[in-house]
Structure 1
Amino acid sequence: MFLVIGLVIVFGMVFGGFALAGGHFDVIIHAAPLEFMMIFGAAIGAFVIGNSIETIKATGAGLGKIAGGPKWKAQDYQDLLVLLFALTKTMKAKGVVALEAHIEKPEDSAIFKRYPKILKDHHATHFICDTLRMMTMNLDDPHQVESAMEKQLEKHHHEAHSASHALQAMADGLPALGIVAAVLGIVKTMGAITEPPAVLGGMIGKALVGTFLGVFLAYGIVGPMATRLTQVIDEEHQFYKIIMDVLVAHLHGNAAQVSVEIGRGSVPSSLAPSFAKLEEALNNMPNDA
């Protein structure tokens, strides 16, 4: 929604201001399609040259994130805390053997199946299960576990940011590609130097449309999209950070409810459940969880 609103404002202010200043759109309309093909087409080609297939796919998925925002909503954060509460309480109350059934095959776990959105996220599920599996192997030093989890999160976060970095690199290159298109327009104009001034003026105007498009696309559209994607990735990363906070708190010997309360402190303020709401959700957990 905000992507559409932002684009309307950008286009409205730029072209509206041009129209109010007495500008005529004839030259822009005539030149823009071919200039856009040269500039944005070259940008796409450079993007394909400079990135792996994984990054290209991630960037395509990232466009959806830019439009839709982070995938984790307020209910998902509450569900995560309740899920972690159930797992840590099971481990503390019933022991490692009772927990193994849930972490070895989470898709068959009564606990995990109550939160299908989290279960569907392979990184979140594997991150939880792998860490709990380390605990069942008597790796119970909180500092070692925290260090191992931080390394996993750092790797995942670095890989997730490849899409935003690639998009920002495209934005950085667009002004230069606009200059390339403009230079080609000037070359064409110089080839028609014997034409009347009115004709030459129109040809120079068309060449300058290339410079305009390169800068406009870079700073008005692609650059802001890269910034927004970075923000979305950073917010989604916080979801996994909560997993680490809760499980490390559990290793320090805290009760399950205390551990999830520590994790609640890491939830983004606008999405965090209140203490009372989380307590109510914990009290209303089904018996099989």
Structure 2
Amino acid sequence: MFQLLGMAVVFGMVFGGFMLAGGHFDVIIRALPFELMMIGGAAVGAFLIGNSGKTVMKTLGDFAKIITGPKWKTQDYRDLLALLFLLTKTMKTKGVIALETHIENPKESSIFQRYPRILKDHFAVDFICDTLRMMTMNLEDPHQVEDAMEKQLEKHHHEASSPAHALQSMADALPALGIVAAVLGIIKTMGAITEPPEYLGRMIGSALVGTFLGVFLAYGFVGPFAARIKEIYDEEHTFYVIIQNVLVAHLHGNAAQISVEIGRGGVPSKSQPSFMELEEALGEIPAEV
């Protein structure tokens, strides 16, 4: 919602100020389709040149996140802590054999099935199961496990955040592409140097629309889009860091309830359950699970 409001403010303040200052839109309106074709088309072409097909498709698919925000909501963090509580408690109380039935086939696991949104996230499930599998193979050094998890998280975050870097590169290029369009407009104007001053003035105005459009799109929209998407990726990354914190705390010998309390401390403030809310969530888990 704030993003839509922000876009309306950018348009309203820039063009409203221009109009109140006595500016006329006729030159901008006439030049806009051609300038947009040159600048926008060149920006899209450069975007395709500089990025893999996977990054291009992911960028297009993730544009909705600018409005909807991170995919993990408050309930998802509670579910994650409850899931990790059940897994670590099972490992402590029932042993490795009981845990293996859950981590070898999580889709059939009675524990994972309680949390379908997490089960749909392949990386989260694989990250949890692979780490617990390392623990069952007697890799019990918390530092080694933490290092292995850190490398996985870094790789995943780098790959997931590629659209933010791609959009920022586009934002950086747009002002220069605006200058390219403006220079072409000046070249066109110089070819008509014998025309009356009124005609030349309109041509120069049309050329300057290119510079305006490049800077306006870069700093008014594409740059903020990149910053917003990066912010969302960073927050979503926190979800996986919580998994790391809980499992490492478990390896240090903490009880399951202490481990998830350590994880709760890393939940973003707006989504963080209180101590009592987490207690209630854990208390609602049926005894047979």
**TM-score for the superposition, normalised by structure 2:** 0.99
Where in structure 1 are there 5+ consecutive unaligned residues? none
Tell me what 2:212 maps to.
212
Q: 1:227-267: per-residue Cα shift (whole Å, max 9, x none)?
A: 11111010000000000000000011111000000000000
Aligned residue identity for 2:268: P
Partners of 2:263 and 2:194 in 1: CA distance: 74
Q: Work out whether 1:135 is the aligned partner of 2:154.
A: no
Tell me what 1:50 maps to.
50
Partners of 1:113 and 1:210 in 2: CA distance: 55
Tell me what 2:164 maps to.
164
Partners of 1:241 and 1:85 in 2: CA distance: 15
Q: Work out whether 1:147 is the aligned partner of 2:138.
A: no
CA deviation after TM superposition for structure 1 residue 62, in Å? 2.4
Aligned residue identity for 2:33: P
CA deviation after TM superposition for structure 1 residue 108, in Å? 0.7
Q: Could you say what secondary structure the match of 1:270 adopts?
A: helix
Contact 1:110–1:288 (8 Å) recurs in 2: no
Partners of 1:255 and 1:125 in 2: CA distance: 22
Partners of 1:144 and 1:286 in 2: CA distance: 34
Partners of 2:236 and 2:17 in 1: CA distance: 38
Aligned residue identity for 1:196: P
Aligned residue identity for 2:219: Y
Tell me what 1:28 maps to.
28
CA deviation after TM superposition for structure 1 residue 61, in Å? 2.3
Q: Could you say what secondary structure the match of 1:273 adopts?
A: coil
Partners of 2:2 and 2:71 in 1: CA distance: 15
Aligned residue identity for 1:250: H
Partners of 1:37 and 1:121 in 2: CA distance: 39
CA deviation after TM superposition for structure 1 residue 287, in Å? 2.8
Q: Could you say what secondary structure the match of 2:23 adopts?
A: coil
Structure 1 range deviating more: 51-60 or 236-245: 51-60
Q: Work out whether 1:112 is the aligned partner of 2:151.
A: no
Q: Could you say what secondary structure the match of 2:272 adopts?
A: coil
Aligned residue identity for 1:41: G
RMSD: 0.8
* Counterparts of residues 269-284 of structure 1 (less than 5 Å): 269-284=269-284
CA deviation after TM superposition for structure 1 residue 200, in Å? 0.6
Tell me what 2:222 maps to.
222
Aligned residue identity for 1:81: L
Identity %: 73
Tell me what 1:175 maps to.
175
Partners of 2:35 and 2:197 in 1: CA distance: 22
**TM-score for the superposition, normalised by structure 1:** 0.99
* Counterparts of residues 75-90 of structure 1 (less than 5 Å): 75-90=75-90
Partners of 1:111 and 1:33 in 2: CA distance: 57
* Counterparts of residues 234-253 of structure 1 (less than 5 Å): 234-253=234-253
Where in structure 2 are there 5+ consecutive unaligned residues? none
CA deviation after TM superposition for structure 1 residue 148, in Å? 0.5
Q: Work out whether 1:254 is the aligned partner of 2:254.
A: yes
Contact 1:111–1:288 (8 Å) recurs in 2: no
Partners of 2:61 and 2:129 in 1: CA distance: 26
CA deviation after TM superposition for structure 1 residue 3, in Å? 1.7
Tell me what 1:197 maps to.
197
CA deviation after TM superposition for structure 1 residue 140, in Å? 0.9
